[in-house]
């Protein structure tokens, strides 16, 4: 993941001030967040941000058993809100644009392989085929404010887009509050505008995608300076397990139903909004280096920093955003 390398994240909610820049940190959606901004007095702004993050968590967090998405997964009667609708619609658009590589309905496969909330199952081709019968966003749709499924076993997991969406919501709120300089980070996904307190573009560190590099910012591949952009990353070097000498990555290819096995180690995407960057970073990790390059050709509005392995060495493919 990316981390802002200007200070360590604190592990409790707090607020601080440096000159005219204010900082808010805490937890949301099962991860940490850090927001730095210049502008309006912090009391009102912090209250507004915290309220928005609570609303997003209640809509989209699978870590919250009372969230809308959790109730949808349990087939409870629930009315979805505007946050859920926005993420569902964008997820479906990117599902189509990536030929199904990005799929929030692949949750049953994710769980069965041991990367969700249920215990890992004994996976066979027959088991994979049975799960694939009710995965795919063609099996689920919105009708007004209701989610309708073709099969009650369909479940959703928006983790690969919800953090980016949360970043965007907070960023828009800050702009509406008059802030011209800010950085919003949730779980490593980032959107920034203007400059930092030193008058420079925001500094973002890219971790080396090495097995065992467990602590963000400890081993960096590079540092980039960003402004007026959103950025998100996905990788398999922290979430995986080994069994009988084989490595199983947490990225599942919805088309095959199996964890991916290719040489792309991490994918970073730059876009105008963080929700888009977040989703495409996941899609790139699904399709691998060549597939990611093809998607970048089809979507020149995106930028990317792809780290892959070749003959035992880390290599980088950069794609500048048009």
Residue 95's domain comprises 72-158
Is residue 14 a part of any domain in this protein?
A: no
**Does residue 296 have a pLDDT over 90?**
yes
Residue 108 in contact with residue 134, Cβ under 8 Å? yes
Rounded mean pLDDT of 204-225? 70
Is residue 129 a part of any domain in this protein?
A: yes
| pLDDT score for 171 | 98
**Pick the residue with more confidence: 166 or 259?**
166
Is residue 94 a part of any domain in this protein?
A: yes
Give the count of domains, the chain. Answer: 1
Is residue 229 a part of any domain in this protein?
A: no
**Pick the residue with more confidence: 289 or 20?**
289
| pLDDT score for 91 | 98
Is residue 4 a part of any domain in this protein?
A: no
| CATH number for 138 | 1.10.3980.10
| pLDDT score for 237 | 59
Is residue 218 a part of any domain in this protein?
A: no
Percent with pLDDT over 70 in the chain: 85
**Does residue 15 have a pLDDT over 50?**
no
| pLDDT score for 39 | 86
d(C-alpha 62, C-alpha 219), whole Å: 30
Q: What angle do CA 206, 164, 315 make, to 5 degrees?
A: 25
d(C-alpha 171, C-alpha 48), whole Å: 12
Is residue 148 a part of any domain in this protein?
A: yes
3-state secondary structure of 132: helix
Pairing of strands 31-38, 140-143: unpaired
Across the chain, mean pLDDT equals: 87
């Amino acid at each position: 993941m990316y981390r802002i390398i200007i200070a360590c994240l604190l592990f409790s909610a707090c607020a601080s001030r440096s000159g005219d820049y204010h900082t808010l940190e805490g937890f949301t959606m099962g991860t940490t967040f850090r927001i730095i901004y210049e502008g309006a007095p912090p009391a009102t702004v912090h209250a507004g941000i915290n309220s928005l993050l609570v609303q997003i968590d209640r809509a989209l967090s699978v870590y919250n058993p009372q969230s809308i998405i959790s109730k949808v997964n349990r087939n409870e009667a629930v009315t979805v809100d505007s946050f859920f609708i926005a993420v569902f619609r964008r997820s479906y658009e990117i599902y189509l644009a990536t030929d199904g590589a990005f799929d929030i309905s692949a949750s049953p496969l994710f769980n069965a392989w041991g990367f969700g909330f249920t215990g890992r199952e004994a996976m066979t081709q027959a088991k994979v085929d049975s799960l694939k019968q009710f995965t795919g966003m063609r099996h689920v749709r919105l009708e007004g404010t209701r989610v309708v499924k073709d099969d009650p076993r369909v479940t959703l997991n928006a983790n690969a887009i919800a953090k980016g969406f949360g970043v965007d919501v907070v960023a828009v709120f800050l702009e509406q509050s008059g802030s011209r300089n800010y950085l919003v980070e949730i779980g490593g996904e980032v959107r920034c505008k203007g400059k930092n307190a030193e008058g420079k573009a925001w500094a973002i560190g890219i971790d080396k995608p090495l097995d065992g590099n467990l602590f963000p910012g400890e081993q960096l591949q590079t540092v980039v300076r960003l402004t007026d952009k959103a950025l998100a990353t996905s990788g398999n070097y922290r979430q995986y397990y080994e069994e009988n000498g084989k490595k199983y990555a947490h990225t599942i290819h919805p088309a095959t139903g199996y964890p991916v096995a290719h040489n792309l180690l991490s994918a970073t995407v730059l876009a105008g909004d963080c929700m888009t960057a977040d989703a495409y970073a996941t899609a790139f990790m699904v399709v691998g280096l060549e597939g990611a390059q093809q998607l970048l050709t089809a979507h020149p509005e995106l930028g990317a920093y792809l780290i892959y392995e070749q003959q035992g060495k880390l290599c980088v493919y950069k794609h500048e955003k048009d």
